[in-house]
Amino acid sequence: MPELIRPLERVHRSFVAAMEEFRAEGRGAADDLSMVGSEIRGHADRWSDPAAFAGFVATLLADAEEEAPRPAGYVPGTTLWYVDGDDYLGRLAIRHRLTPKLLEVGGHIGYDVRPSARRRGHATAMLKAALPLAYELGIDSALVTCDEDNLASAKVIEHNGGVYEDSRSGKRRYWVSTSP
C-alpha cells in the first residue's frame, strides 16, 4: 500500500530510476524550475554513489528545520516521498510559509509523480495525506498551484477540496483547507 514517508536511503535504486524517467521527459533542464528539475541539476551526477545519496537524503531531512542553511529567499520545507515498499512513486514538499514569490506561483505544497506511475490516483492520494501534516505545521489553508494547462493537476487539487482563486504568471492558484 503506497504511503508518504520521510526520505529514506532504502529506496535509492528506485529513486534513481524515477529521476531517469523525469530526465527522459526533459526535466532537469535550466528552464525547469520545479523541485525535481532543481534536484536533477544539483545532485544527479552523484546519486549513483550510495554515500552521496545518503548525504542528499540528509540534506532533504535537514531542510525541514528552521535553522538549517538555505539559499536566500527559501523557507523551511518538509519533503516526503510517496513509496510502495521500496518502490519510489513520487515526492511532495510542504513549504512551511509563503514568501511573496511562493504566494504568486509556488504555493505551500508541490508534488511530482514519476512518469511510469501517473494516472493511478497517486497525486490525489499524496495531496490528501499531506493536508493533515500541513495543518500540524500551522498551515490552516494551503496554497496549491499548478500550470494553467495542467488539467490533471487541477483535478487533483479540486478533488482535495481546492477552491480556485485566480491565475497568475501562468499558474492556477487554489486554496485547500487543511483542517481535520
pLDDT at position 121, please?
Answer: 97
pTM of the predicted model as reported, rounded to 2 decimal places: 0.95
* Cα dihedral sign, 152-140-78-75: positive
Q: What is the band of 166 on the pLDDT scale with cuts at 50, 70, 90?
A: very high
Q: Which helix (H) or strand (E) holds 15?
A: helix 12-24
Rounded to whole angstroms, the Cα distance separating 139 from 167 reads 21
- H helices, E strands: number in the chain: 6, 7
Q: 10 Å Cβ neighbour count for 9?
A: 13
Rounded to whole angstroms, the Cα distance separating 151 from 131 reads 21
Domains of the chain: 3-177 (3.40.630.30)
Residues 158 and 172: beta-carbon distance below 8 Å: no
pLDDT at position 66, please?
Answer: 95
Q: pLDDT (tens digit, 9 = 90+) per residue, 131-154?
A: 999 999 999 999 999 999 999 999
Instruction: Express as a percent the part of the chain with pLDDT over 70.
Output: 100
Rounded to whole angstroms, the Cα distance separating 165 from 167 reads 7
